[in-house]
Amino acid sequence: MISVSEAKSILQKLNLPNRAVSLPISLAIGHFLAQSLSSKIDVPSFDNSAMDGYAFAWEEGIDRLEVMGEAAAGSSDLPKIEKGQAVRIFTGAPLPAGADSVIMQEKVKRVGDFIQFKPEDATQGNHVRYRGTQCRQGEVVAEAGAKITPGLVSLLASVGVNEVLVSLAPKVAIIITGNEIQELGKPLEPGQIYNANGPALESWLKNLGISEIQQIKVQDQKEAVVEALSQTLEEYDLVIFTGGISVGDYDFVKIAVEENGVRQLFYKLKQRPGKPLYAGEKEGKIVFALPGNPGSVLSCFLQYVKPVIQSWKRDPEAWNYFKNLPLSQDFEKKIPLTQFLKARIQNGKVQVLQGQESFNLIAFGLADGFVEILEESSYVEAGRLVRFYPW
Ligand SMILES: Nc1nc2c(c(=O)[nH]1)N[C@H]1C(S)=C(S)[C@@H](COP(=O)(O)OP(=O)(O)OC[C@H]3O[C@@H](n4cnc5c(N)ncnc54)[C@H](O)[C@@H]3O)O[C@H]1N2
Ligand code: MOO
């Protein structure tokens, strides 16, 4: 058995194939930039008004101007003005030649073709957005590795970028093993349970932006498990088993990975839940076998599978999705293993929930994620900082 940190360090060193593609910016949300991006233009690309009002050429002490015409947003046919003149202007419209300042319409009184105002309301350069004040053409606006957020999409659109190079998440196959597993919507026969792992993993993968997902169910039969892996390895980059990885007579996943020539990265970790976790690699494809208890499936996914998926997407923070937060009450750990506990955040503190058995899902309905109690700790006092991993 190896430790949690040894297992993570093995996974961090994996050379995952890059699925780099170019995507329209509006479809790239949640991905990470595989290139740095520069502005294609000066933004704003012309001096323009920040207010609805009047554009004019500023002079000391002026309080009255003659209105000569109009400048609307999007117009290119603009009047030219001289000292003593103004142009009716609207937000976003180009500043006419000769103008250098704008006064808001609320600050003026219109009398026929003239406007009157207090001299102190006509400040030089006021309400003008000058060309290039956001950024200049060629200026880097986003570095490689940046996460594509709605804010970044807005910035990229403003500078004329419409496609970005990103690294896609892997295509994922989920293989649910177990003769006892019944699909939702069907009645339970004696000895059967509902498939809690499949929907949980599928929804989690979707939450990570993965659309190429297949979920298949196999019986606890050696040939069926071997064949399911062989087929999914052809088509998918990442295969996630649930169940069948322990030492029971009907646990065939270990045999299936061996028969398919998958190289073992590790098997069995000093942790609870999820002690019999397996990870392997074949020609750039990764296989995880998550121990079947839903508690271990969710904990192992969060600790190991999710960071591997984020690494596939070239997320620079792939392995750093935890927060150091204070524990709300003392915790005594009775086992010499790393323990991951369902927990929730209350008033900024981590509260360990009741019902930590790995078959018991009640606490999952309340949990915000898992807290890690390190292998070497046997007692953690309230107020001590612990690592909390949000979903
Ligand atoms: N002799 C030993 N027995 C076990 C050991 C051990 O070290 N020695 N480890 C235990 C631990 S810890 C775990 S975790 C489990 C892992 O077993 P498997 O990966 O082989 O999983 P299964 O036996 O197939 O299932 C375990 C448990 O989870 C339920 N399950 C399975 N799939 C689903 C699903 N899709 N949805 C909901 N629940 C599921 C299944 O019915 C079992 O109750 O092994 C221990 N045994
Ligand atoms: O490791 Mo198992 O997940 O304790 O039930």
pLDDT band at 360 (very low <50, low <70, confident <90, very high): confident
Q: How far apart are the first and last CA of the chain?
A: 26
The closest-lying atom of ligand 2 relative to the alpha carbon of residue 271 is 1
The per-residue pLDDT for 81 is 93
User: So what's the architecture of 48-129 in CATH?
Assistant: Beta Complex (2.170)
Cα four-point dihedral sign 347, 349, 350, 354: negative
Whether the pLDDT of residue 120 is over 80: the answer is yes
Q: What is the CATH code of the structural domain delimited by 323-390? A: 2.40.340.10
Domain boundaries, the chain: 4-18+169-312, 20-39+144-167, 48-129, 323-390
pLDDT at 173 over 90: yes
Which value does ipTM take for this structure?
Answer: 0.97
358 pLDDT more than 80 = no
Instruction: Answer whether 296 contacts ligand 2 (Cβ < 6 A).
Output: yes
Verify whether ligand 1 is closer than 6 Å to residue 292 (CB atom): yes
Q: How confident is the model at residue 391 (pLDDT cuts 50, 70, 90)?
A: very high
Residue nearest to atom 43 of ligand 1 (CA): 293
Position 338 pLDDT exceeds 90: yes
What is the whole-number distance in angstroms between the Cα of residue 359 and the centre of ligand 2? Answer: 8
- Which of 256, 255, 254, 249 lies closest to 233 in space, CA to CA? 256
Q: Do domains 4-18+169-312 and 323-390 have the same CATH topology?
A: no
The per-residue pLDDT of the chain, averaged, comes to 96
**CB-based contacts of 384, cutoff 8 Å, min separation 6:** 326, 327
82-94 pLDDT, tens digit per residue, is 999 999 999 999 9
Looking at residue 67, its pLDDT comes to: 97
pLDDT, residue 243, reads 96
- CATH 1.10.3720.10 assigned to 20-39+144-167: no
- Of the candidate CATH numbers 3.40.50.300, 3.20.20.60, 1.20.120.420, 3.40.980.10, the domain formed by 4-18+169-312 belongs to 3.40.980.10
Measured between alpha carbons, how far is 389 from 356 in angstroms, rounded to an integer?
Answer: 16
pLDDT above 90 (res 167) = yes
Q: Is the pLDDT confidence value at 270 over 80?
A: yes
pLDDT above 80: residue 176? yes
Report pLDDT for 78.
Answer: 85
